[in-house]
Amino acid sequence: MTTRLTIEKVTKVFSDHPERALALLAAGASKDRVHAELGAVVALNGISLSVPAGAIYIIMGLSGSGKSTLARCVNRLIEPTAGRILLDGEDIVTASPQRLRELRRSRMSMVFQHFALLPHKSVVENVEFGLKLRGMPAPQRRKKAQEFLAIVGLEKWAGYRPVSLSGGMRQRVGLARALATDADLLIMDEAFSALDPLIRSEMQDELLQLQKLLHKTILFITHDFQEALKLGTRIAVLSDGAVVQEGAPQEIVLDPRNDYVAAFTRDVDRARLFDAASVMLPAAPIVIGADGALSIPPRMEGRQAFVIDGGGRFLGAIAASDAASLRGKDPGALSLPREAAIPMKAKLIEVARALNAAEQLAVTDEDGRLVGCIRGEQVLARIGGRPSAAPPAAR
């Protein structure tokens, strides 16, 4: 996957003389020491991240962790003190004012926590705002704005002022405004934090739907770990202006690096987060070749065995005692019960439901090949949150 945005050792110091603070930081001083000695506030301390194209990349942290500052450094609403921010290889930090304006107009856009709509403009005028700044002729930008209003389901509200809209609808306008410029990098600063829980969840689902359609690169800032897990392709956890941990959602929950991260993961609904692939064990199936040649593993666990053909395709389950009866059969004509299989992307909650009916489950990939098996104890160990109890199977 190509990298769209690279953040390299970005530091932000709020001070009249940031050079001295930078020198002190470079010498290994802590944030607190810099503040005590110089009175300078270090908001970001040498942050490095790389955001893949097409990802929803979550910057997660509590208030004061520097997450909003980082987001604003990316489009330079806040000037970074040191470091480089590369958008497709081009350094944003050193861009000239003209170039920066071009980048803001066409390459990146932003969605704000409190929507930041313009109250004196109608909904459609708000959506076309970015296009107007760019100098697009009125009929053209109106047409485009209406398209994006339709995408977020607000075409009927085009002529209203933002005052007459609910919070969720206003943020849809904010989203449409950000999408209308065709920018491929979207910075969403706590975009859903000001919404009611129900509306928030709805907006999250909608963002995921839109993302399937539009494939933007989204830098999503949030303090809500559940939201981070739901939306994130990858998550960077920030604390005190530094990245504490970075990784895929499941990795972070499975192996929190320290107590700060662990505190977030404690209440996570693991049954809905983890998938079958993350807990499965290697399977020991019966292989039936194209010529009917049978290979039975020496030791079979349980009363049931899985059967695959020579290409690894899952054919079904059979009672272990009946294994020998398969000898000489044509794998194409075989009809075995297949209910005991589950796709590797299935969440543990679905696995648990399926396990009600079966003693163990076969895990299959997109092509129907057997990749592993799951028994109840693996699911329980993972949901119980004891990472050491079930080492993740190789994926």
> Where does this chain bind another protein (CB under 8 A)?
72, 75, 77, 101-106, 108-110, 112-114, 116-120, 122, 124-125, 129-130, 132-134, 138, 158-161, 163-164, 177, 181, 187
Number of H helices, E strands in the chain: 16, 17
Concatenated DSSP letters of 108-135: EEEE-TT----TTS-HHHHHTHHHHHHT
Alpha carbon distances (Å) from 32 to 9, 11, 19, 189: 19, 15, 17, 26
Contact criterion met (CB below 8 Å) for 288 and 251: no
d(CA 218, CA 186): 5
Alpha carbon distances (Å) from 31 to 25, 38, 39, 101: 8, 11, 10, 32
Nearest distance from C-beta of residue 102 to another protein, angstroms? 7
Nearest distance from C-beta of residue 77 to another protein, angstroms? 5
3-state DSSP call for residue 62? coil
d(CA 356, CA 216): 40
Give the pairing type, strands 360-364 and 341-343: parallel
DSSP state of 303: S
Strands (E), the chain: 3-14, 41-52, 56-60, 82-87, 90-91, 108-111, 185-189, 217-222, 234-239, 242-247, 286-288, 294-295, 304-309, 314-319, 341-343, 360-364, 370-375
Q: Which residues contact 320 (CB under 8 A, 6 or more apart)?
A: 300, 302, 303, 304, 305
Written as six digits, the tokens of 337 are 């019960």
Written as six digits, the tokens of 145 are 């704005």
DSSP state of 221: E
Helix or strand run (H / E) with residue 296: none
Task: Please tell me the total number of residues recorded for the chain in this structure.
Answer: 395
